[in-house]
Structure 1
Amino acid sequence: MTTETKPLAGRVTLVAGATRGAGRAIAVQLGAAGATVYVTGRTTRDRVSEVGRATETIEETAELVTAAGGEGVAVPTDHLQADRVRALAGRIDREHGRLDVLVNDVWGGEHLIGPSFGRKTWEIDLADGLRMLELGVKTHAVTSHTLLPLLIRHPGGLVVEVTDGTAAYNGTRYRENLFYDLAKNAPIRMAFGLAKELEEFGGTAVAVTPGWLRSEQMLGHFGVTEENWRDATADLPGFAIAESPVYVGRAVAALAADPERARWTGRSLSSGQLAREYGFTDADGSRPDAWGFMIAQETDPDVSVEDYR
């Protein structure tokens, strides 16, 4: 094992919300770079969360991390329960005494989007709206509050707030409904604020967004698989810009391995932007820029997807 082939060897990382999608892929790519990766979530082989998908578990994610070359450690955790998060922090402290990378990817609110899509604030079920804020904002606040004292023990710590949309895109566009808009803009502001707080400790905080993500849940929604996902473009041509979770996984791993990553602190970044910077590709060898495509499509409906892959 060398630092050239395993640049994160010896690093201790946590991916909060690693059951599936972006979180799982980030965990696996951190493992492929040699890291120890604690993976958390609510769905285990014995229990299914409100998301309702028993096909992906944190135990499986941990096994994928280990198979990729790292050390995966599954810790069932509901990040709304502060005592459970404190227990997680205590375990990492006992076992390693440090935390080098914290990836805040907790969400699990996709099932709430459909009923509220395009509705006015007062038309949305209030419980559903507030649940989005709990899942997308409160979980991130609880996790950062509890884990950052461990991360700042050593200079060079990295916090990644995973969200949906860049600051540039979200800043001038309304994201589906008020509750979702708040839930996905909050992590961008969190990264900005944490960057200020971590500066004196030599830490870096960024927000990272995938593009149109071909998560397990999204593929299931369109009735396709990763092998035949392009079939979905017959009904939704814009889906041609979609990217696999591997892409954002490689983005975060590249950030974590970059000794000069502090230059990004406080910024909102996308998988496509980081791919251009670090030279990696998606699993199929392409380099999609979903946010660039979506912005271009607003003024030119005939813009070619291939110009953004």
Structure 2
Amino acid sequence: MTILKRRGVIAGALGLPSLLARPALANGFPGRPVRIVVPFPPGGATDGAARVVAEFLAQRYGTPVIVENRPGASGAIGGEAVARSAPDGLTWLIASAYPLATGPLLNTRMPYDPGRDLTPVSMVFTTDHVITVNSSMQARSLAEFIPEARARRQPVRYGSPGIGTGSHLMGELLQMKTGAELVHIPYRGLAAAVTDQLAGTIEMMIDQIPTSLPHIRAGKVRALAVTGTRRHPTLPEVPTATELLPGYEAQSWNAIAVNGATPPALVERISADIRAALADPATQARLAPLGADYAGSTPAEMAAVLRAEVERWEPVIRTAGITMQ
């Protein structure tokens, strides 16, 4: 199943042309600059999406919408900044699963409780991942990779942007499903992991398709499988992992949240504004080169995604003994 029925959400937003065209100033919100906290370094889909959405909303609000990068601790530093902010709707977090959902499963000392201290507002994008290997591996498909990995004297090394990230959890799930011995190598960001794969320091990555695609097309890495429920239009020749390993399905996503005490009516208002931004044709044209599937959601829909994410990954985290302490 996909995380959200993305096209339906877009269609609903496009059905409100007057909402898209009218500045959102009826009740005086925001009245002051809005800050979008990106808990990762500049660059990449999260940062890029935040900046495109910020530009649309700055015009809509008639006030600056500032993107602030606060990387570290797999996103928890930025998450804590928003969790401790005033509940006035002026400070937003755009983040992935760890800062918004799975963090407490991995770190009992996490400085905030996402379920209590943050309120989900809207999905921003979802993306499938792709399993890639470099030339140190002979495999050209997932079916060839499994016996090769099992036969190696040394475990296959795979990189991720950090402990508990989607790439890390997908690697642990792959190990459980195949019995191949894999070793996780965490990095402080995605760029360093990609660099090491290209250099041969690590053999494998399970990364977002938009990031991996240039290296696949350049022949620097080979795509073995995609992690979604269906073949991806940018890699139609690459099978899904679930074709060989039933139940191996995973997407990563980024969503916007605000302080947990923000009034519900204001949360709904911000959500509608984000959906308007993502449904705007000019915004969509600017987001398209970043890859992924962009669409908003209601706060209730996003809350359901967070619950499902915890249910999906808790058994993997417990079985693999993953901890950030």
TM-score by length of 1: 0.32
Structure (1 or 2) with the larger CA radius of gyration: 2
TM-score by length of 2: 0.31
More helix by share: 1
